Structure 1
């Protein structure tokens, strides 16, 4: 037997009545007749008592008799089975696992800190009980291994890998799908179903976090400057064209160059410029 099978035990209420009647009748007969033979009924009723057990909602009991798997009870209620059965309880509820933040290297070798949040539940009680030694510990270790493998598949960002379309920081949907698929394949041996898996924490390791932050800030500044210059050039071009079309002033190439220089300074400066009023001619 290498797969789960459902066991349908006897109702515990019926057996409770039978065991109680056996105990009471044997006790009364023993008192009345003083015959030790009736003590056997009392002993049998006491031996039958360990066979009673409860199954709560979304729980199960795996039944084993002298090393042989006898099935799993998944129905809720009060039951009785052979008192020599070992009745291991396995929860069927969905569980959360928030892994520790592990330090790994991404695809390009940068040290990063990464953690995973996993939602899982037991679907095959036979595999959970007998295919692995401890299924809860198995989930923890395999989750750590899956996170390490995932981090090595993608760069943290595309600073050093400009051709990377998917990164750990930007491609969360694709990365989480890959993580979930990897974990499902790993935990299938233990009868575990992965309901959801996603990255819960992601950051550069402390030794490079400061440098990477400055790099991100520099990239943002360069991108902003690029946009400012593009806008300034368009505005200067539009201003010169309008002045020429409306014939407000006749500008030669030298004056155009001076005007472009002044406008670019005004539009691209970090601080407010201070105007200088020229009280003479344009040439002085």
Structure 2
């Protein structure tokens, strides 16, 4: 009896065939909603040269419900804050002026020319002629030559007297002609400046500015109101006057911006804790206002208080903290006093106490000391 053995091919196993059939069969592909088509044999390719077979990225997005982890991009580094810049050619330089005697001399010459022209035209009053001791002259009348002499002498007098200016200590003049910067005058005393130039007076003295309460915050983000004292002066008059519209307003805005970036010590803070905030505020304000010709020496908070919307809550919190500290201090003092009393009574042999009596004595002494401290506290 012969036994016939039948071999069954599994469903998942492919039947063996000739090599030509295997080469003609298409390669297996992996394809779904979140991946591109990748041949299976390329996943395990040992060829190190990928140039001949360019591939696109497999996973292009996260498929919902598949459990695939998203690919997070590395955050880009923060860009540095750009520093304020002003026209580099706008730098303070000395203006050309003359001593005041030159203006007085030119004005006097113009006035004398007007008087001489009046005497020449015969329109000078007799009293003025007698006062000036001029000879009697009938005059040639007012003709074109006389009017030209009047115009020249009058222009010279106006140009001489109109350019006189008085320079003061701690003040400077910024001069401009038709919108162009012509220089700065820091001289003092009487001087002559071209009257056609536009003058802007600038205070270059050391100045103190006390601000109104400005919004700020502490290290925990609690809203505060801070009044600061700024010590500053104008170092470059050209940039302070022409670089910004109003350098005082610009300085105030720089202080407000610095207060939003630097945490301020809240009221009742530890002594010496405000020094880092003062240094940081001074450094930031000086860096922001330096390019416009303002030199800042100190930015110091004078009065720090909580904002109206949180003032009541923070006051209650502060009172509760002080009360807790006082109670802890009083309790420590009472416990020390009770311990010292019981120890002295026992060591000197004044009383002999068992555990129950010791506990009762400690309780009574604690109540008595706490009541005494509570009455004496107010």
TM bucket (normalised to shorter chain) is 0.7 to 0.9
The answer to whether the aligner puts 1:137 opposite 2:249 as a matched pair is: yes
Determine the C-alpha separation between the residues in 2 that align with 1:19 and 1:233. Answer: 95
Task: For residues 216-254 of structure 1, give each alpha carbon's deviation from its aligned partner in whole angstroms, at most 9, with x where no partner exists.
Answer: 111111111111221222222222222222111111111
Task: For residues 152-190 of structure 1, give each alpha carbon's deviation from its aligned partner in whole angstroms, at most 9, with x where no partner exists.
Answer: x346379xxxxxxxx698622332222222221121122
The answer to whether the aligner puts 1:95 opposite 2:243 as a matched pair is: no
The answer to whether the aligner puts 1:196 opposite 2:298 as a matched pair is: yes
* Matched position secondary structure for 2:351: coil
Q: Which residue of 1 aligns with 2:223?
A: 111
The answer to whether the aligner puts 1:9 opposite 2:97 as a matched pair is: yes
TM-score w.r.t. the length of structure 1 is 0.82
Aligned-residue offset at 1:263? 1.1
Whose radius of gyration is greater, 1 or 2? Answer: 2
Equivalent position to 1:255, from 346, 357, 361: 357
8 Å contact 2:267–2:305 — kept in the other structure? no
Which range is displaced more, 167-176 or 128-137?
167-176
Query: Which consecutive residues of structure 1, in runs of 5 or more, have no partner in the other structure?
Result: 159-166, 274-284
Task: For residues 67-95 of structure 1, give each alpha carbon's deviation from its aligned partner in whole angstroms, at most 9, with x where no partner exists.
Answer: 33222111111111222222211111233
8 Å contact 2:164–2:193 — kept in the other structure? yes
Which range is displaced more, 196-205 or 263-272?
263-272
Determine the C-alpha separation between the residues in 2 that align with 1:189 and 1:200. Answer: 26
Q: Which residue of 2 aligns with 1:235?
A: 337
Determine the C-alpha separation between the residues in 2 that align with 1:118 and 1:60. Answer: 22
Q: Which residue of 2 aligns with 1:18?
A: 106
Higher strand share: 1
Determine the C-alpha separation between the residues in 1 that align with 2:375 and 2:99. Answer: 86
* Matched position secondary structure for 2:220: coil
Q: Which residue of 1 aligns with 2:183?
A: 71
- Higher RCO (CA < 8 A, seq sep 6+): 1
Equivalent position to 1:38, from 129, 135, 149: 149
Q: Which residue of 2 aligns with 1:156?
A: 266
Determine the C-alpha separation between the residues in 1 that align with 2:230 and 2:264. Answer: 20
Determine the C-alpha separation between the residues in 2 that align with 1:57 and 1:148. Answer: 37
Aligned-residue offset at 1:108? 2.1
The answer to whether the aligner puts 1:179 opposite 2:281 as a matched pair is: yes
8 Å contact 1:142–1:183 — kept in the other structure? yes
Q: Which residue of 2 aligns with 1:59?
A: 171
Determine the C-alpha separation between the residues in 2 that align with 1:82 and 1:157. Answer: 56
Q: How many residues align?
A: 263
Higher helix share: 1
Aligned-residue offset at 1:272? 5.4
Q: Flag the 1:156–1:168 CA change in 2: closer, same or farther, 3 A.
A: farther
CA RMSD of aligned residues (A): 2.5
Q: Which residue of 2 aligns with 1:277?
A: none
Determine the C-alpha separation between the residues in 1 that align with 2:270 and 2:354. Answer: 55
